A and B are shown apart, each in its own frame.
Chain A
Amino acid sequence: MSDATLSAAPAGARPLRRIGLIAAALVLVAAVMLLVGARYGMLLAIGLGFGIALEGLRFGFAGPWRAMILRREPSGLLAQLLSIALVAMAAMPLLASHPGELSGAQAPVGLAMIGGAFVFGAAMQVVLGCGSGTLVNAGSGNPVSLLALPFFAIGSFAGAYHLIWWTSLGSLPVLTFTGLPGLAATLGLLAAVALVVLRLAAPGAVRLNRRHAVAAAVIAALAIANLVVAGQPWGVVYGLGLWAAKGYVALGGDLAGSAFWTAPGSMDRVQASLLTDYTSLTDIGLIAGAFGVAAWRRGGFSAGLPGYPARAWIATVLAGFLLGYSSRLAFGCNVGAFFSGISTGSLHGWAWFAAAFAGAHLGIRLRPLAGLEART
């Protein structure tokens, strides 16, 4: 596929391209189902769904936080809270009734966890891409996200490499909301945050637009499907770190110095096929699904690339690395900690939200200093 063919295909070629995109997705999913296993194929399909929904409905995490902080536009943030609530209503009863088969995104609140979430919130505003957003943006042709992505993976690997040391600095036991009382507490807290957001909203700003509401429902349905198929919630950064770990080992690197990567479960996953790792499969689907939507759209790839000064690219590399490193310390990104943590009852999801939202204020100020406000 050349630049020209993707950017300016004649109108007659568009249906053919769309049939090709659908066929490619079906063939990919079928191939993984047959050659790797049905569960893995379904997770690739779920990942494709995430990518299609996030890119197709122009929904995400970093952008809505920026809109709320800068312009007091609440719609995207309210949609995130709605989506988390929808997932919680299914996930928390399922976790309570099937504790041996399903696990939540439950992690301890700690010093490094809170610091990591703050740094992640700042870094995701610098590059305007969170865990899922960086993958989706790279797949749809954003050059900043494409550059950030490999450093995100390296950062995730390095953060996991040092995770045990960071966690030893001090953390609480894992605290979770469970069962129906836990669900009621989670929904009550989500409603309270939504009320605060509505109170802070600019007069006349749309409260919850239709596109965001649809995205909230679709993302929730896919997240519940992820839990039912994989037995664990939707996550992003583990897979990226695993890709880097595999690359490190392939280049002759030794993981012996890391308590994380030498743990039996980690070693097994480094040696196993990437197509048997759940978060890798949904990560692949996020990139490919976003690519598919951009290729499907009329003029989806036709926009010219914005110009950035050199310091913007340096900032992108640093922010990409920090996104990966900090998200491991924080026990997840906007997906694994905020979205999946809160929706499966983990207190660390709430701590993550507060710390990352505070960090986002800093990141919004840093972005123009880094030269990342595009010169078109």
Chain B
Amino acid sequence: MTRAVPACLALGLLGVIVALDLAAAPPNPYRAPAAFALGSGTASAGGFCGALPD
């Protein structure tokens, strides 16, 4: 067995997670924020490991 097996498993599992999530929570591109946060005039609302919950 070579490194191809765990690598393909990693990518495959990632694909499954994304596919299941897409089915459960389809994104809406019409609600997308501006392409760049810098210059958008709005505060970043993303989750971050260094932040306490808002």
Taking Cβ atoms with an 8 Å cutoff, the residues of B that contact A are 1-11, 14, 17-18, 20-22, 24-27, 29, 31-54
Contacts and interface: CB of A to CB of B under 8 A. Distances in A.
B45 to A, nearest CB: 7
A195 interface: no
Contact of A250 (B24, B29, B46): B24
Interface in A230-270: 230-233, 235-239, 241-243, 246, 250, 259-261, 263-266, 269
A233 B4 CA distance: 32
A69 B50 CA distance: 27
Contacts of A102: 37-38, 44
Interface residues of A, number: 91
A96 interface: no
Q: Which 6 A-B pairs have the closest CB atoms?
A: A37-B32, A141-B3, A231-B37, A231-B44, A263-B53, A141-B7
A337 B46 CA distance: 16
Given A100-B41, A273-B25, A288-B14, A278 B46 contact: yes
A336 B49 CA distance: 6
Given A36-B32, A304-B2, A348-B50, A284 B18 contact: yes
Contacts of B24: 246, 250
Contacts of B25: 271-274
Contacts of B52: 107, 163-164, 167
Nearest to B33: A39
Contacts of B27: 35-37, 40, 272-273, 275-276
A373 interface: no
A152 interface: no
Contact of B47 (A278, A305, A341): A278
Interface in A299-342: 300-305, 327-328, 331-333, 336-337, 340-341
Nearest to A108: B52
28 contacts: A35-B29, A37-B33, A39-B32, A40-B27, A101-B37, A101-B39, A102-B37, A103-B44, A103-B51, A105-B49, A105-B50, A107-B50, A138-B7, A141-B3, A141-B5, A146-B10, A231-B37, A233-B50, A236-B49, A246-B21, A246-B24, A265-B45, A271-B25, A273-B25, A277-B47, A294-B3, A304-B1, A305-B5
